Amino acid sequence: MREDREPDGYAGYTELDGNHVEFEDEEEAPRRPGARRAVLVAVGGVFAALLAVGGYGAYTIMNAVSNGTSSSGTGGGQGSDTATKAPQEPPTAQQAESVAKDFLAAWGRGDVAAASALTDRPETARAALTAFHENVPARSLALTGTGPAAGAAATGPAATGAASGPTLGFRVKAEFEGATGAWEYDSALSVVRAEDGRAVVHWAPTVIHPQLGPGRTIAVKALPDPVSKPADRNGKPLDGFPSLSAVLPQIAPADGATVVTGRAVVVSGGSGKESEQLFVLTPPSAPQVKLTLDADLQQVAEDAVKQQSAGGKPASLVAIQPSTGRILAMAYSPSGFNRAVAGGQPPGSTMKVITSAALLEAGVTPDSAAPCKDTTYSPRPWHNDDRGDFPGYTLTDDFTHSCNTGFIDKGLEKLQPGTLTKVAREQFGLGLEWHIGIPSRDATIPLPGTKDDAAAEYIGQGRIQVNSLLMASVAATVQSGTFRQPVLREDAKRVTAPGQLPADVARDLRAMMAKTATEGTARAPMSGLSGQIGAKTGTVEAGGQATNSWFIAYRGDLAVAAEVEGGGHGNSAAGVAAAQVLTAGGKG
């Protein structure tokens, strides 16, 4: 602070900071009799000369300019009074448009200091605008005035002493690197008269964006990684199928597939408010995985299993395309555990397909004698569902009518221990490690330790563990003559069988399965189906409880296996379910 010598004709004054001039007390600087006083007032560094008579006039003018506190003084012949604050006039429309234009221009070019200086809360505005530029890094930012904003007002009270003025709208257009389009939105600002007389923008967070209320932040954020919903082979959605609710989440994107993490402008925070996505810069994306399933056939399989599992009976069904190994349908009940591909249980007489293949390769022919006794021994006793002796049966007859004793006798006579396991593995792929696209269980066909063990395995009992997927593949291998590991997705890593089902054996098996479908135990469910058909029933004893129902079949280029726990004979529950799918999807 510096004290200057009072010029001639002026009252005493003290210069404070170049912006204001504070007058000295009248008693300390007595005016000269009869002389007029010139008062220097500095506003924004520009001085103006104001003439007044006496202290009252001088202090009143100063208060009007600086909007400061009132003071008192005495003037010759004027007496004394209390100074009052002169009312602020709101900014004119022209002043509002001018400051709004300057503010938007500074903000748009990234000059945060200049923009914030044009507000009534410079520090607060500077921090907010800096955060916006850092957290919403636009490549370009264009802000264009749109004129008076009818009914709009900036949020928050104006600074103390400020006079509110017009509210103006403006349009924001932000462009980002890599974005698919520009982000555009409308906002508004109010212009007020500040204490120093300037027209300034009234600062509020909503100036940046209307949704940016107290306690809220705005930033570009990464979106959650996309979850690609698998579709069927034709691109149809697979949502809503009960059997697939636990399967679809297990489907991962293909190896090497590019997953794009999305980005969006998000406003978040604030009491009781959820985050709001304002603009998507880059949408998340992941290549859609098409499964081998057929949505239409899946619906038929779901309905068939639901019908046969009424009353709480667990059941499953799998349909395969023999020419490709593609899994076309997969249904099971109850939900949760996928017994269709992960379960394990004996398949009953459907295993006689593989036993027959082993016998045919061992020199037995379809017409070879294979008497069907009422009871046989291994040494434990074995009998058939339909009691009685049929001494004239051939191998084909035993297969067609599902004679247990004929297969046990012929197997113990012609096959070496382990032959069944070898044929199942090398020609039908059972026992190999499959990779279908989701976790699945491989077949268990152990080497028999005794003749009783061997006898049980020849008719699909004992310690054999398979499921509908595995047995549908058996039917598919017979139909096409070649094992093709079933897959749920095309990029699954298939295994190949080390051997090949001999062509003449495949031919004989197709003839035996065809006769079973038209004249044997599978006749009832397969009736009415035309074209190339074949089937085999299976009935599994379950420790004194109701028997389990199994059925494998094919029609044209469609093979099916179904099982119903406690479903009774193979041609009833499981056979009905399989026939429904063959009717809907099979072709002759």
Each residue's pLDDT tens digit, 186-245: 999 999 999 999 999 999 999 999 999 888 999 999 998 777 789 999 999 999 999 999
pLDDT tens for 63-86 read 222 333 333 333 333 334 334 455
Q: What is the mean pLDDT of residues 123-132?
A: 97
Average pLDDT, the chain: 85
Which segment, 41-45, 61-65, 397-401, 544-548, is predicted with the most confidence on average? 397-401
81 SS3 class = strand
Q: What is the mean pLDDT of residues 439-466?
A: 97
pLDDT in the model for residue 419: 98
Report whether pLDDT(101) > 50: yes
Lowest mean pLDDT among 276-285, 396-405, 575-584: 276-285
C-alpha 501/C-alpha 361 separation (Å) is 9
**Residue spans of alpha helices (H) in 309-418:** 339-342, 352-361, 395-401, 404-414
pLDDT in the model for residue 5: 38
Pick from 332, 333, 348, 342: nearest CA to 542: 348
pLDDT in the model for residue 588: 58
Residue type, 393: Y
Residues paired with 147 in a beta bridge: 169
Report whether pLDDT(48) > 90: no
C-alpha 215/C-alpha 259 separation (Å) is 34
Report whether pLDDT(373) > 80: yes
Distance of CA 150 to the CA centre of its chain: 42
Contacts 24+ apart (CB under 8 A), 232-237: 232/290, 232/291, 232/293, 232/294, 232/295, 232/298, 233/290, 233/291, 233/292, 233/293, 233/294, 233/326, 234/294, 234/295, 235/288, 235/290, 236/295, 236/296, 237/295
pLDDT in the model for residue 370: 98
Pick from 273, 260, 287: nearest CA to 178: 260
Residue 541's pLDDT band (cuts 50, 70, 90): confident
C-alpha 294/C-alpha 394 separation (Å) is 40
Residue 413, token pair as written in the block: 């006579």
Q: What is the mean pLDDT of residues 140-148?
A: 95
End-to-end CA distance of the chain: 108
pLDDT tens for 102-122 read 999 999 999 999 999 999 999
| pTM exceeds cut of 0.75 | no
pLDDT in the model for residue 253: 78
C-alpha 560/C-alpha 328 separation (Å) is 10
Report whether pLDDT(465) > 70: yes
Report whether pLDDT(356) > 50: yes
Report whether pLDDT(313) > 80: yes
pLDDT tens for 161-174 read 567 789 999 999 99
Which segment, 151-160, 228-237, 562-571, is predicted with the most confidence on average? 562-571
Pick from 566, 579, 587: nearest CA to 301: 579
Q: Locate tokens 């520090």: which residue?
A: 123
Residues 6+ away with beta carbon under 8 Å from 239: 229, 248
C-alpha 399/C-alpha 421 separation (Å) is 19
C-alpha 482/C-alpha 427 separation (Å) is 8
Q: What is the mean pLDDT of residues 530-558?
A: 92
pLDDT in the model for residue 49: 31
Residue 477 CA: distances (Å) to CA of 33, 44, 275, 481: 127, 95, 55, 5
pLDDT in the model for residue 252: 82
Residue 467, token pair as written in the block: 């499921």
Q: What is the helix (H) or strand (E) element at residue 474, kind and residue range?
A: helix 468-480
60 SS3 class = helix
C-alpha 65/C-alpha 215 separation (Å) is 36
Characterize the bridge pairing of strands 183-193 and 163-175. Answer: antiparallel
Q: What is the mean pLDDT of residues 379-396?
A: 94
Residues 6+ away with beta carbon under 8 Å from 459: 348, 349, 351, 352, 355, 382, 404, 407, 408
What is the percentage of the chain residues whose pLDDT exceeds 90? 72
C-alpha 404/C-alpha 398 separation (Å) is 8
422 against 32, higher pLDDT: 422
pLDDT in the model for residue 431: 96
580 against 225, higher pLDDT: 580
pLDDT in the model for residue 85: 53
C-alpha 193/C-alpha 206 separation (Å) is 19
Q: What is the mean pLDDT of residues 139-160?
A: 72
pLDDT in the model for residue 100: 97
